Each structure stands twice: as structure tokens, then as C-alpha cells.
Structure 1
Amino acid sequence: MIIDKEKDTVYFSEHIRTNYEFRSAFDRIKPILDKHQINYRFLSNTKDNWCRDYMPIQISEDKFIQFRYEPSYLKNDLDLQSNSQDIIKHNGLKAENSSINLDGGNVVNCTDKAILTTRVFKENPTWDQSELIGELERLLNTQVLLIPDITNDLTGHSDGHVRFINNSTLMVNELQNEYLYWKKGFERMIKNTGLTFVEMPWFEYQDKKHKHTAVGCYVNYLEIGDLILFPIFEVPRNKDEQALNVIQSVFPERIIEPININEIAKYGGLLNCATWTIKALA
């Protein structure tokens, strides 16, 4: 699979620069991308400020897989469910379609592995689980690994829990405060695969107006080529300094740009969620 370090183009939903709530956050993102000469574009016909989940997954330079986008968490909010086929058509993109219901935020990958949560089984109840994994491995052309789905998490995506540092090492939310069943499931996957991991600090932030805030989740950063846009939160009891120390230690040769986008984070996602990245055809 194409990895984030190989990608060179970032897409955003048009809403991120037209919606007054998110425009100031994008105004802080834009100069960083300009500074490092990162190509960025905007998708039309989207219904909210998110981007990753309804867009295709890039397998190789000229191969994209478009999964069905009908997440259960939007079943009562269909006005927010973007139509991936319309978006692909209106933006001049091409992809191979799959009937499997899968969000892009639930696929975290290196070159030869992809990590999904078990939410994929709940979203595809008519599939035999082993057959589903087999078909995903065929489509993604990689080994599929599973970590538990946190049941009270709205989306159940893997990109809020883990990221690949390289093919043999993961970054994971610090385990000591995780649910015991999630920790056991993650450790089982590690034992079965031989992967190693580095823990990233995280914290819970209570927001009375926004139940599903992502404030406190550092692993949901944007990686594009040698650049990492890294979320910091600047709220009471944050772990910004510790988190920056970790990201700088595991990516010493990368450009780390800290950025506060709490206007977006309070709605449940961060930089990986709000972007779609590709390696453009030469």
C-alpha cells in the first residue's frame, strides 16, 4: 500500500474554508502547507468538514478502492453523510468500488499491513468474519490486523488509537488509561505479529457542548511526505509538551509543525480525519 510518507497531495472538504466555524483553523493550516510547498486541493459536493472517511483508499499510484460509506453513526444524520460516488464524479477521480461498508479513518497502514478495529464486523453484519477479512486483504493487497472497537466511541476508527512509525513499529495511545479489554486485544495483536510499539500520551477533555470531542488525541496527526502537522490543544491539563517530545523522538528526520485546531477537534476529529492524502500520478 502507499504510505503517508510517499504521499504529496492533501485534499480538504470545501466546507473547511467556507464554514465560518472551521475557516480560522484552516487559516492556520494553510500557511504551513504553503511554507513546505505541499500541494492541497478542495473537494466539492461534500456535506461536512470531514474528508478521510468517504474517500477512496490508495493501493498504488494508479489504483484506488472506494468502499461503501454508510456508517451506522450517521444513520440518524443522513444530511451529513456525503455521497462518495458524487464526490468522485464531480472531482474527476476514479476508483474501483467495493460493497464493503468501511470508513477510511478505520484503515491505518504501512506498506504491508493495515490495522482496522472490529467495528468493521458490526458495519458488515451479513458477512462471515473470516471471509470479510479475506476480501479486505485481497482488495487492499496487504495483511489486515485487528484491534478492538471501543464500544462507546462514536466512529470506532483505528486512526484515533494507532499509527505506523514504520513497517515494524506502531505508535499507540498510552495504554495505562485504556479500557482493559482494549489493552488486552491490542497486546494480543502485538504478540501475534511481533510488532513493537511506542506509547503516545493522551488525555480526556470534558466539553459540555460537544460530547464526542477529539481534544486530547495526539495520534490523529497529518503525515504528508516529510511533514507532520501535529495537534496540540493548549487547554488545562494538556500533555502537549510530552506528546511533542514523543513525536520528535520517533521522527527525528521529519519536519514537525505543532498546530491548534480545537475548532475542528471539538466535533470529534483531527488532522487525519479532516484530510485525504494521495500520491499523485507523475
Structure 2
Amino acid sequence: MVTDQETNKVYFSTWLTKLKCWQDIRMTLEQARVPYGLLEGTQDYWVRDFMPIQVTRNSYVQYVYNPDYLHTSPDYRTDGVACLERLCFPDSKVVKTDIVLDGGNVIKCDDSVIMTNKVFLENRQWSKAKVMDELERVFGAEVIIIPWDHHERYGHVDGMVRYLGDGRVLLTNYGDFAPEFAKELVKTLSHKYDVTELSYPLQKPSSYNWAYINYLQVGKVVLMPKLDDPENDMAYEQLHNLFPDASICRVGGIKPLLRRGGGLNCVSWNVCN
């Protein structure tokens, strides 16, 4: 399974370049010497959700991108395979599945995939057992299902947990405000992984501190938000300690993205090529 730690290039929608935050993102990438490219023909800039999921260097999984939150806005659906074909990656192979999914609900680990149980809601025409069998077939890996955080309408996992490598995962700071839910997540995840939790022990937490778990990692470079809140330095210190061999780069100007419900991982598609 190709993990974030193994990626070496990142892509964004051309739509993102029309937003002011693009200049901050582009400048940070260039200063960190991270190769990047732009995707043509997308219908929005949340590329994580519709682009094929890279499993090995030359193989990708393409799912049915028809999430419930776009049922009333079909014009925002993008054909991820068409975008991939325009990139002309040599020898790339796409494995297709009828599973309804979006990439924000997939965290790749070395030998497993983490998802929220919203995937069952999106595929109610199938039994849970059949959904699991199909997911494990196309990913060629164990699938770990965790509870959906219903405060996040999209059911995405990339705002909840991330893979650190070597069997370790990072959980966002549920322990600060939802300790029982945090215990449930840790119990589920600890059967497979060593779990570390972010924490911001503040009386008045920022409503945007979820964005720190939604960092973008390309190899040994981690891009995190630079926000004007007390959690910013706390998050930086914790990520710095968790990624001792990586460069932690702060990106400003992304609050307009956060107001729209997504962060740096949501607008990016990192691959190994």
C-alpha cells in the first residue's frame, strides 16, 4: 500500500489556483522543494474525494463517486479516471469497483485501510459483509472500520485519524471534548495500531483546530495550517515530535478553505510516481 510517507508529488485542481490561499500553498511547496502539478477538467477543488486511490506504484482503485452530499448537486461530480488518464502515467492500471465512496474516507496504512462506517450507509443495497469483502478485494488489504463522527457531515476519516508509519496512527483531539468517543476510537484502533492522540488543553478551543489532523504529507514534508489561534504552536510542537525526520511547514491563508469544510489534505492528491 502506497502511504503518504512514500509519495513524492502532489496535485491540485486548477480551480484552487483561483483562490487566494493558492499563493501560500504554492510558495510553501516551492520553498520545501515539493514537486506539484495541476489537474484539468475537475468540477471542484476537493480532489482528494474523487481522484483514484493509489494502491501500488502503478495501480489505482476507482470507486463510484456519488456521495450523498452531492445528490442535489450532481454538477460537482468529477470523473477521476478521466483526470488520471490526462496525466498519462506510464503503465498505470485502474481497478474499478461499484462501491460508492469518496477518497476523504480512506486512510492508507502499510497493510491496511482505515474508513468510517459511513461507507455502509452509502452502500445500503449491499450487506456489510459484502461491502467489506469488496473493499478488501480492491485494496488488497485489511479494512478497519471506525465510528463516524456525526458532527462532520461528510463522514470522512481524514479529519479524524492519520497514519504515522510503523503501525502507528494519530488521532485528533477528541479526548479534549468528547472523551467517551475518544475511548471508543482508541479501543477500535488499538487492536491494530499504536495510537497517539493530539491534545490542546484550552478552556476556549478554536472551532478550526480539527484542521491540524488534516495536514498534507508528501514524503518527508508535512504541510500544516498556520492559524491565528492558541492551538497553532501546540499542534506544531506535537507534529514536530511525531515526525522527527520531516520538515513541518506552516501554510497561512487557508481559513477560506476551512470555512468551506475542508483542509489541506482535502484539496490535494499525493502520489508516488
Q: Give me the whole-angstrom Cα distance separating, in 1, the residues matched to 2:269 and 2:11.
A: 5
Does the 8 A contact of 1:107 with 1:116 survive in 2? yes
Counterpart of 1:144 in structure 2 is: 143
Does the 8 A contact of 1:114 with 1:144 survive in 2? yes
Q: CA offset at residue 103 of structure 1? A: 0.8
Counterpart of 1:219 in structure 2 is: 213
Counterpart of 1:209 in structure 2 is: none
Q: CA offset at residue 254 of structure 1? A: 0.4
Q: Give me the whole-angstrom Cα distance separating, in 2, the residues matched to 1:61 and 1:139.
A: 15
Q: CA offset at residue 44 of structure 1? A: 1.0
1:52 counterpart SS class: helix
2:224 counterpart SS class: strand
Q: CA offset at residue 81 of structure 1? A: 2.1
2:43 counterpart SS class: coil
Does the 8 A contact of 1:147 with 1:182 survive in 2? no
Which AA in structure 1 matches 2:269? W
Q: Give me the whole-angstrom Cα distance separating, in 2, the residues matched to 1:70 and 1:181.
A: 32
Q: CA offset at residue 49 of structure 1? A: 1.6
Q: CA offset at residue 277 of structure 1? A: 0.8
1:146 counterpart SS class: strand
Q: Deviations over 1:157-199 (max 9, x none)?
A: 1000000111321110123245466334313313432x22221
The 5 A counterparts of 1:14-93 are: 14-17=14-17, 19=18, 22=19, 24-92=20-88
Q: CA offset at residue 143 of structure 1? A: 1.1
Gaps in structure 2 of 5+ consecutive residues: none
Q: Does 1:200 align with 2:193?
A: no
Q: Give me the whole-angstrom Cα distance separating, in 1, the residues matched to 2:142 and 2:184.
A: 17
Which AA in structure 2 matches 1:11? Y
Does the 8 A contact of 2:220 with 2:246 survive in 1? yes
Q: CA offset at residue 88 of structure 1? A: 3.4
Q: Does 1:253 align with 2:220?
A: no
Tell me which of 223, 238, 242 is aligned to 2:234.
242
Counterpart of 1:153 in structure 2 is: 152
Structure 1 residues 184, 127: closer, same or farther in 2, change over 3 A? farther
- RMSD across aligned C-alpha pairs, in angstroms? 1.9
Q: Give me the whole-angstrom Cα distance separating, in 1, the residues matched to 2:28 and 2:190.
A: 39
Q: CA offset at residue 65 of structure 1? A: 0.7
Q: Give me the whole-angstrom Cα distance separating, in 2, the residues matched to 1:192 and 1:34.
A: 39
The answer to which of 47-56 and 90-99 deviates more is: 90-99
Q: CA offset at residue 117 of structure 1? A: 0.3
Identity, in percent, stands at: 28
Q: Give me the whole-angstrom Cα distance separating, in 1, the residues matched to 2:190 and 2:95.
A: 34
Which AA in structure 2 matches 1:74? L
Q: CA offset at residue 220 of structure 1? A: 0.4
Gaps in structure 1 of 5+ consecutive residues: 206-213
Which AA in structure 1 matches 2:226? I
Q: TM-score w.r.t. structure 1 length? A: 0.88
Q: Give me the whole-angstrom Cα distance separating, in 2, the residues matched to 1:178 and 1:123.
A: 28
Does the 8 A contact of 2:206 with 2:231 survive in 1? no
The answer to which of 54-63 and 70-79 deviates more is: 70-79
Does the 8 A contact of 1:2 with 1:58 survive in 2? yes
Q: CA offset at residue 227 of structure 1? A: 0.5
Q: Give me the whole-angstrom Cα distance separating, in 1, the residues matched to 2:77 and 2:209.
A: 23
Q: Does 1:167 align with 2:166?
A: yes
Q: Give me the whole-angstrom Cα distance separating, in 2, the residues matched to 1:146 and 1:86.
A: 29
Counterpart of 1:276 in structure 2 is: 269
Q: TM-score w.r.t. structure 2 length? A: 0.90
Q: CA offset at residue 53 of structure 1? A: 0.7
Q: Deviations over 1:221-249 (max 9, x none)?
A: 010011100113214xx411111110001
Structure 1 residues 86, 168: closer, same or farther in 2, change over 3 A? closer
